[in-house]
A and B are shown apart, each in its own frame.
Chain A
């Protein structure tokens, strides 16, 4: 049995770790609240613009925007992967990478090459090691991501699509379901998926005022912006709640460990005392 002193040292070091995880849990909890608010605020816009675009994809417009056309022959696909900048948030990033890689392998089997655009430090370092083509990378977006910082990264992918280098674009991020659950989501950005609304299943078109092209172009730009932005803020909200949960279980585990070690320590101390007494008694008997 280890000496009482060594055990005492171990308990102390675990207590220090517990203090840190506890502090991180509380920081994550307070950040989570703000991140969730931000995500909830922009969610309706992102959802509605998606609906409008899916209607548009089902229409037969006079002006067909390139993002609405499905290309048959797919040679190369693009992925925008949104990850966190920092670790210690449980299996959040790993699960998302797994979902992304599964999709990428599927495309690889179909003979399409894969381009990746990484948002966040973790995605950057992961896809550098992974056998794929990393075309753009941005990190340190912070907890309040700004629209214009994202646009540059996304622009690379959009330009590639316009130039016909990639034929499909996906965005991968963690969707915030609730504090306990976050699910990785692979979402097709372009070409825009059409709605499966039966009522619209005939030949129709919008009335455009004043003209189709500027409206649809503007709408597309806003759509891409809002979808990527939404992906990033959802991911931040997911990161904060995942970190809070991870740190909470770390704190609890440290508590359990301390409890077990305390028992071992008490036993060791008791054993030492018993031994001392028996030594004294036998010494006295010998005299």
Chain B
């Protein structure tokens, strides 16, 4: 039997996923990380993107996170995300709209504050669309 690790994906509003899996991929700040069971302890920030897990049946599940913190212990992994949704629940049209809105805001940059905000928004929207695309490809 393959080695497994327990993972909990929680957001400030809900518990998204809790279960035993064999592989985890997460969008860490320094680049995507892949985590197998018995990984050494690690603490990192997450950027907007998708968290993918592969369960014991070899099935893949995707979650969208808007940033947060990832804690890895050899037998338990915790994703503390600001907002997390199952990729299947994402709204493509809303994400597209957010993307174009953010791009428009970026185009006429008035102040630095707006700029930074719009940039973050754009990153989030792109990450959401990415998650949707990944999900569609598998179907």
- CB distance A45 to B42 under 8 Å? no
- CB distance A215 to B78 under 8 Å? no
Does B50 sit within 8 A of A, measured CB to CB? Answer: no
- CB distance B41 to A45 under 8 Å? no
CA distance A41 to B15 in the complex (A): 7
- CB distance A210 to B30 under 8 Å? yes
| Given A51-B78, A209-B42, also A42-B28 (CB < 8 A) | no
Interface residues of B in 40-84 (CB under 8 A from A): 40-45, 69, 71, 73-75, 78, 80
- CB distance B73 to A49 under 8 Å? no
Q: Which residues of B contact A212 (CB under 8 A)?
A: 43
Interface residues of B in 1-45 (CB under 8 A from A): 8, 10-15, 28-30, 33, 40-45
Q: Which residues of A contact B42 (CB under 8 A)?
A: 206-209
Taking the nearest CB of chain B, how far is it from the CB of A180, in angstroms?
A: 25
Taking the nearest CB of chain B, how far is it from the CB of A211, in angstroms?
A: 10
Q: Which residues of B contact A48 (CB under 8 A)?
A: 8, 10, 78, 80
| Given A52-B71, A52-B80, A209-B30, also A59-B41 (CB < 8 A) | yes
Q: Is the interface of B mostly helix, strand, loop or mixed?
A: strand
- CB distance B10 to A204 under 8 Å? no
Does A205 sit within 8 A of B, measured CB to CB? Answer: yes
Chain A residues with a Cβ closer than 8 Å to the other chain, count: 28
| Given A207-B40, A209-B44, A215-B43, also A52-B78 (CB < 8 A) | yes
Partner of A41, one of B13, B40, B41, B75: B13
CA distance A209 to B39 in the complex (A): 15
Taking the nearest CB of chain A, how far is it from the CB of B106, in angstroms?
A: 25
- CB distance A219 to B41 under 8 Å? no
CA distance A250 to B11 in the complex (A): 40
* Nearest opposing residue in chain B for A214, CB measure: B45
Q: Which residues of A contact B10 (CB under 8 A)?
A: 44-45, 48
| Given A44-B10, A49-B80, A52-B78, also A208-B43 (CB < 8 A) | yes
CA distance A105 to B75 in the complex (A): 42
Taking the nearest CB of chain A, how far is it from the CB of B74, in angstroms?
A: 8
Q: Which residues of A contact B30 (CB under 8 A)?
A: 209-210
Taking the nearest CB of chain A, how far is it from the CB of B66, in angstroms?
A: 14
CA distance A134 to B78 in the complex (A): 38
- CB distance B44 to A215 under 8 Å? yes
Partner of A55, one of B28, B73, B80: B73
Taking the nearest CB of chain B, how far is it from the CB of A70, in angstroms?
A: 21
- CB distance A209 to B29 under 8 Å? yes
- CB distance B44 to A45 under 8 Å? no
Partner of B14, one of A41, A51, A207: A41
CA distance A215 to B8 in the complex (A): 19
Q: Which residues of A contact B75 (CB under 8 A)?
A: 199
* Nearest opposing residue in chain B for A212, CB measure: B43
* Nearest opposing residue in chain B for A51, CB measure: B78
- CB distance A209 to B28 under 8 Å? yes
Mark interface residues in A207-229 (1 if CB within 8 Å of B CB, else 0).
Answer: 11110101110110010001000
- CB distance A210 to B80 under 8 Å? no
Q: Which residues of B contact A45 (CB under 8 A)?
A: 10-13, 15, 80
Partner of B41, one of A206, A214, A218, A222: A206
Q: Which residues of B contact A49 (CB under 8 A)?
A: 80
Q: Which residues of A contact B69 (CB under 8 A)?
A: 52, 215, 218-219, 222
Top 4 nearest A-B pairs (CB, nearest first) are A44-B15, A209-B44, A206-B43, A207-B42
Given contacts A45-B80, A208-B42, A209-B30, 11 further A-B contacts (CB under 8 A): A41-B14, A42-B12, A44-B8, A44-B14, A52-B78, A55-B71, A204-B41, A205-B41, A207-B41, A215-B43, A218-B69
Mark A residues whose CB is within 8 Å of B. 41-42, 44-45, 48-49, 51-52, 55-56, 59, 199-200, 204-210, 212, 214-216, 218-219, 222, 226
User: What are 10 A-B interface contacts by the 8 Å CB criterion?
Assistant: A51-B78, A204-B41, A206-B42, A206-B43, A208-B42, A209-B28, A209-B43, A210-B29, A215-B69, A216-B43
